Structure 1
Amino acid sequence: MKKFFITTFACVLGVFIAGVVLSFLSIIVLAGIVASTETTYTPQPHTILKLDLGTVTERSQEDVVGFLLGNSQKSDGLNNIIKAIETAKENKNIAGIYIDAGGMNMGIATLDRIHRALLDFKESGKFVYAYADTYTQREYLLSAAADSVMLNPVGAIDFRGLASQIMFMKGLYDKLGIEMQVLKVGTYKSAVEPYINTQMSDANREQTMAYMTPIWNHLLEQLSKDRNLTVEQLNSLADTLLITVDAKDLVAKGLVDSLMYRPQMDQFLKAKAGIDPDDDLIFASANDVASIKQSKNKAKEAIAVVYAEGGIDLDKTSGIQTAELVEDLTEIEKDDDIKAVVLRVNSPGGSAYGSEQVWAAIEAIKAAGKPVVVSMGDVAASGGYYISCNADRIFANPTTLTGSIGIYGMIPNFEGLVTGKLGVTFDGVQTNRYGNFGSFNRAMTPDERNQMQHYIERGYELFTTRCAEGRGMSLEAIKKIAEGRVWDGQTALKIGLVDELGDLDAAIAWAAQKANLENYKTLDYPKQKTAMEQLLSTLNTNVRARIAAAYLGENYKYLQAIEQCKEMDPIQYRMEDIELY
């Protein structure tokens, strides 16, 4: 029996060691593969730029961890997509663009930017064609920029107007025994509503319709030009549950140009690109075309383009990590060759403390005599607006969501969960009155809540003061458009929250003019992580979560709820999660 246990233990240990060794070998091999793919692309004659986009983020980044785990999702960077379209316009070997619509996931301002790039590309005289088995609404809005929109004969178009739906968590938290103790300033500050309400407040319903309507109107005006249909016709079509309409009727209604199956579409593209019917199509991805070798920019002076994407300090593995961002901004401030900064913001906000640190770093750059310009993406609201407000000039897209100048605090009380459901009790002593303030196992006292509310109100005063100073407005004027209210880009321009409607390239051009630069290069920040850095930054979190889930079984959901609440900074300049579809 002893020998049996020794043998068994040796086998288990051997398998474990082999697994560790193989894992490290896989990482090394994968890193080598990724490194080897970082080469330039040379297009052959008759090449077609194929836009089969997945999730579109601000910057391209290989998902090494997802690839290693076998669950990588297609992701494309807006920077590479725009660069690819601009390069394809000028490259003589690229015949045109093919939009293979399926699985696209992008914000409306991102869609708007790609759409404008496609319209600019068409000025070259090269073709743009789109095809889909079924178009989602956003896929169709983008594809409408094409010379012709093709559809599978049994396909459909999901075109039905914009909608916004919020998932409310209060019922779940009630069942788990978790109470969210909320303090806020701002009638429209609705980020807390999912935790304390079961439906939208009247104020939130009002503001949502107020920003959703001009965004929809902007998209309709754009589509009206693309398809030569009136806005009234398009609204009427959106009210017919178009996804149920036969494909032939979509042609008759002017939404689609031709019906064909994919093999027919391939032959169509071959004819347009000048490829023999028996030869294969030559496709190049956006990343391929973006990597085509360009003449080297030898300029010494530079404009730093700093990307701030995602929530602000919401977790340790994604979004804006303000400690790292401030480090980059400080480096930029001290670099004599960098003459101006463009901060590209695509963030709903987050930590109040982190937002203030970024604001201060931007002030230091301005004090060093370098102009700072903000370019807003899909969203630059609450903390995202906080880090933007002191820029010398702010550019936004017409469909950008911004504003949300407000603040809230949210402190969870787990007493109902840990004591009421799990039977865990707590006791202790303290030398002073507030010794155990902030404990998650009890509710705040009326006195603590009162003092916290005053603290939140001071945070609101700081936020509005920062905005007033940055925008050159009175505090009273800012407060009239604050209250946590979200605005669309067009309205934000009218009320003074932004200076101009334009894209990242317009912001860079303005920064160059402000800094008196004629010959310059752009430098992107933060530096993107290597394959090995991605693996190391996520490995610890993934392993810990998996071990906890395996050990706790069905009770893991309780730990997960606690961890999510504990990771959250209790004081937030953050907009609610908004999804328009």
Structure 2
Amino acid sequence: MKQFLLTVAGVFVGLVLFLVGVPFLLIVMAAGAARPAPVPAHSVLHLDLRGGLTDQAAQNPFAAFSGGGGGSVMSVIETLRRAESDDKVKALFVRLPEGGIAPATADELRLAFKHFRTVGKKPIYAHSQGLYPSGMVTSTYMLGAASSEYWMQPDSSFQAVGVASEAMFFKRFFDKYGVKAEYEQRHEYKNAVNPYLYSDYTPAHRESALSWMGSVYRTALTTAAADRMKDPAVLIRDLEAGPYSAQEAQAKGLIDRVGQVHDVQTLALSRAGKGAKLIDFDDYAARSKRPTTKTGPAIAVIGAEGPIVTGTSGSASPFGGESTVYSDDVAKALYDAAADKDVKAIVFRVSSPGGSDTASEQILAAVKAAKAAGKPVVVSMGTYAASGGYWISSAASSIIAEPTTLTGSIGVYGGKFAIGDALARFGVDTRQVQVGGDYAGAFGSGEGFTDDQRAKFAGWMDRIYAGFITRVAEGRKLPPERVREIAKGRVWTGEQAKQLGLVDELGGFYQAVDKAKSLANLKGEVRLKPMNGGQSPLEAFERALGVSSTSMRTLAASAWILGDPRAEAILDDLATARLRAAPGGASVLADTPIH
């Protein structure tokens, strides 16, 4: 009887999955089969940056349903490269955000804008409805300055007067309520946990923050001055004397024109030719996608965006919107690229603030293996490549960063919060039992470290830090003493890191591609081959619906019960595709070779 009920329950679940999953699959299939409309003969592309960009395109096919389906820097610059040689595209119209853009994002987009204008010989019209002192607003201004015409809405606010950063410190609050922040840092510039340990900036914390902020600020405004053909000192003086209205900013030569969004759109379309149409940027990207060349020499492109953790994306929620670097996936992609006979070099795009040291070491080992296989690995740094992000980059054949990439942070920290005293004030008592050595209970939340536990934990942190120093020294061919001198957990901009020998060149993704071609002795047109070791869209679909191999059989039984031949055919196709994407098979979706 029990088995019968389990069978009935399984069939019922299968029916529910079938009724939900099959319509979804039909929609996906129909969307894939639909041919995009042709691009109009006279088109102006509309790129809206107000919603923000990730660095890299989401690998998760369901990201669009979880708030993670926005555009990416990589997709924008790749689409602009196609658009600049497309005779149907006459211009680009850009909507700028009112706040700040991540500095390295602005740097990468600026390079793409300059290439579009100089190589494609096509104008860019930028429009802003105001610039407010939120985040790195000077980077937003720099990007607008790279356009052919920089417009602002009448009477809007121009407040690109500088850069400020604010931190909240919790030490006195913790002292008042009995919370102990038990952390170790290696070393004084590794300040991520300073807000828990102090009530104000330490001298090292203040020095580090002002250093990288000043570097970002100077770089953005020096670049903006060059693009607007103004003396940098004059531009900085005028900006810092603000804020202004849009009309006042125009009078000082900080922008070109004042007008409504409709005004600049109308002008851009009239200049583009008779019957010109405004085309959404993402829409154009889909319409203009070119077939991928499957043969010949290639440069593999492997991405890593977000915190670095151990494991695989298969263990994550298929509807998660946040980017994460899973060490199994990235390492697999690197090993696959090393074994692919068509791949002659690898561009490793890194935009990560760091994470697990063991996960970082797994990825670094794969980078070294790719180099040992004769495949040069060029790192292209995005918004940041700090701490673990630098760890995984350190052994690359060459490192290329944007001037305002935040990198370095060669250091470690770790610890715990001891909240036993705080909870006791509310009648909650924390007690711990343990067997084995004293260190087994070191990370209990009730009490702080004992002297012996602190000594052992500090020794562990010292070993990790020493290993980090060793890897950077070996990868960058620097004396360990020199690395210790410039490390200490300090964050550097790409411009500063180049002067210190932590970065080889300043530039963006396509500069990294050129470097990879040079190191691999490749000439002429070379195809870029995106590779990643994560789950395929089909695997994500299965996980989203809980469709394991057992569930697939239940679904098949449901289709048989319903007697619907169309459902049976769809399930047959799904099962066949699943076999193609299975480990060891030649995944059609991922374009990975058979090993």
Which range, TM-score by smaller chain?
Answer: 0.7 to 0.9
Q: Which amino acid letter does the alignment assign opposite residue 200 of structure 2?
A: Q
Instruction: Determine helix, strand or coil for the equivalent of 1:139.
Output: helix
Deviation for aligned residue 1:155: 1.5
Distance in 2 separating the partners of 1:233 and 1:140? 15
Distance in 2 separating the partners of 1:67 and 1:368? 37
In the alignment, structure 1 residue 284 sits paired with structure 2 residue 289? no
Cα pair 2:438 2:453 within 8 Å, conserved: no
Distance in 1 separating the partners of 2:404 and 2:424? 47
Distance in 2 separating the partners of 1:416 and 1:34? 58
Q: What are the superposed Cα offsets for residues 366-413 of structure 1, whole Å, 9 maximum, x if unpaired?
A: 222222221111211111111111111111111111111111112232
Distance in 2 separating the partners of 1:26 and 1:415? 53
Distance in 1 separating the partners of 2:424 and 2:334? 46
Instruction: Determine helix, strand or coil for the equivalent of 2:293.
Output: coil
In the alignment, structure 1 residue 347 sits paired with structure 2 residue 347? no
Instruction: Determine helix, strand or coil for the equivalent of 1:113.
Output: helix
Q: What are the superposed Cα offsets for residues 21-77 of structure 1, whole Å, 9 maximum, x if unpaired?
A: 98667855765576467x6563111111111122212223388757546xx476211
Q: 1:579 aligns to what?
A: none
Distance in 2 separating the partners of 1:539 and 1:193? 43
Q: Which amino acid letter does the alignment assign opposite residue 150 of structure 2?
A: V
In the alignment, structure 1 residue 376 sits paired with structure 2 residue 381? yes
2:55 to 54, 58, 62: 58
Q: Which amino acid letter does the alignment assign opposite residue 90 of structure 2?
A: A
Q: What are the superposed Cα offsets for residues 69-90 of structure 1, whole Å, 9 maximum, x if unpaired?
A: 6xx4762111221122222211
Runs of at least 5 residues in structure 2 that lack an aligned partner in the other structure: 1-12, 547-595
2:72 to 74, 77, 81: 77
Cα pair 2:56 2:305 within 8 Å, conserved: no
Q: Which amino acid letter does the alignment assign opposite residue 222 of structure 1?
A: T
Change (3 A) 1:296 1:411: closer
Cα pair 1:80 1:290 within 8 Å, conserved: no
Q: 2:166 aligns to what?
A: 165
Change (3 A) 1:30 1:157: farther
Q: What are the superposed Cα offsets for residues 427-453 of structure 1, whole Å, 9 maximum, x if unpaired?
A: 435254444333233221110001111
Change (3 A) 1:132 1:275: farther
1:359 to 361, 364, 378: 364
Q: 1:396 aligns to what?
A: 401
Q: What are the superposed Cα offsets for residues 331-354 of structure 1, whole Å, 9 maximum, x if unpaired?
A: 223333322222111111111111
Change (3 A) 1:303 1:197: same
Distance in 1 separating the partners of 2:542 and 2:165? 37
Distance in 1 separating the partners of 2:298 and 2:61? 30
Q: 2:197 aligns to what?
A: 196
Q: 2:583 aligns to what?
A: none
Q: 1:500 aligns to what?
A: 505
Distance in 1 separating the partners of 2:111 and 2:89? 19
Instruction: Say which is worse superposed, 230-239 or 466-475, in terms of deviation.
Output: 230-239
After superposition, where does 1:514-553 map in structure 2 within 5 Å?
514-518=519-523, 520-526=526-532
Change (3 A) 1:492 1:41: farther
Number of residue pairs matched by the alignment: 517
2:40 to 44, 67, 81: 44
Runs of at least 5 residues in structure 1 that lack an aligned partner in the other structure: 1-15, 541-581
Deviation for aligned residue 1:534: 5.5
After superposition, where does 1:190-269 map in structure 2 within 5 Å?
190-242=191-243, 245-269=244-268
Instruction: Say which is worse superposed, 483-492 or 331-340, in terms of deviation.
Output: 331-340
Q: 1:512 aligns to what?
A: 517
Cα pair 1:371 1:392 within 8 Å, conserved: yes
Deviation for aligned residue 1:149: 1.6
Q: What are the superposed Cα offsets for residues 190-214 of structure 1, whole Å, 9 maximum, x if unpaired?
A: 1111222232211011122222222
In the alignment, structure 1 residue 130 sits paired with structure 2 residue 126? yes
Deviation for aligned residue 1:307: 0.6
Cα pair 2:350 2:381 within 8 Å, conserved: yes
Q: 1:120 aligns to what?
A: 115
Distance in 1 separating the partners of 2:242 and 2:20? 51
Q: Which amino acid letter does the alignment assign opposite residue 56 of structure 1?
A: L
Deviation for aligned residue 1:159: 0.6
Change (3 A) 1:419 1:27: farther
Instruction: Determine helix, strand or coil for the equivalent of 1:283.
Output: strand
Distance in 1 separating the partners of 2:291 and 2:62? 33
Q: 1:110 aligns to what?
A: 105
After superposition, where does 1:149-164 map in structure 2 within 5 Å?
149-164=150-165
Distance in 2 separating the partners of 1:382 and 1:156? 37
Change (3 A) 1:265 1:74: farther
After superposition, where does 1:373-452 map in structure 2 within 5 Å?
373-421=378-426, 423-452=428-457
Q: 1:94 aligns to what?
A: 89
Q: What are the superposed Cα offsets for residues 542-571 of structure 1, whole Å, 9 maximum, x if unpaired?
A: xxxxxxxxxxxxxxxxxxxxxxxxxxxxxx
Change (3 A) 1:34 1:418: farther
Change (3 A) 1:152 1:197: same
Q: 2:556 aligns to what?
A: none
Q: What are the superposed Cα offsets for residues 284-316 of structure 1, whole Å, 9 maximum, x if unpaired?
A: 314523651436535333221111111112995
Cα pair 1:150 1:259 within 8 Å, conserved: yes
Change (3 A) 1:319 1:178: farther
Q: Which amino acid letter does the alignment assign opposite residue 220 of structure 2?
A: L
Deviation for aligned residue 1:468: 0.7
In the alignment, structure 1 residue 297 sits paired with structure 2 residue 293? yes
Deviation for aligned residue 1:465: 0.8
Change (3 A) 1:430 1:375: same
Q: 1:312 aligns to what?
A: 308
Change (3 A) 1:374 1:266: closer
Change (3 A) 1:452 1:307: same
Instruction: Determine helix, strand or coil for the equivalent of 1:248.
Output: helix
Cα pair 1:56 1:105 within 8 Å, conserved: no
Distance in 2 separating the partners of 1:292 and 1:197? 54
Change (3 A) 1:255 1:74: farther
Q: Aligned residues: percent identity?
A: 30
Change (3 A) 1:421 1:210: same
Change (3 A) 1:63 1:288: farther
The two structures have a TM-score, normalised by structure 1, of 0.80
Cα pair 1:299 1:520 within 8 Å, conserved: no
Change (3 A) 1:258 1:192: same
Q: Which amino acid letter does the alignment assign opposite residue 384 of structure 2?
A: V
In the alignment, structure 1 residue 464 sits paired with structure 2 residue 469? yes
Distance in 1 separating the partners of 2:291 and 2:432? 70
Distance in 2 separating the partners of 1:529 and 1:367? 27
The two structures have a TM-score, normalised by structure 2, of 0.79
Change (3 A) 1:189 1:528: same
Distance in 1 separating the partners of 2:277 and 2:193? 52
Distance in 2 separating the partners of 1:421 and 1:310? 38
Q: 1:334 aligns to what?
A: 339
Change (3 A) 1:465 1:63: closer
Cα pair 1:374 1:394 within 8 Å, conserved: yes
Distance in 2 separating the partners of 1:463 and 1:337? 33
Distance in 2 separating the partners of 1:97 and 1:346? 27
Cα pair 1:41 1:289 within 8 Å, conserved: no
Instruction: Determine helix, strand or coil for the equivalent of 2:474.
Output: helix
Deviation for aligned residue 1:125: 3.1
Cα pair 2:432 2:444 within 8 Å, conserved: no
Change (3 A) 1:431 1:64: closer
Q: Which amino acid letter does the alignment assign opposite residue 58 of structure 1?
A: D
Deviation for aligned residue 1:172: 6.2
Instruction: Determine helix, strand or coil for the equivalent of 2:309.
Output: coil
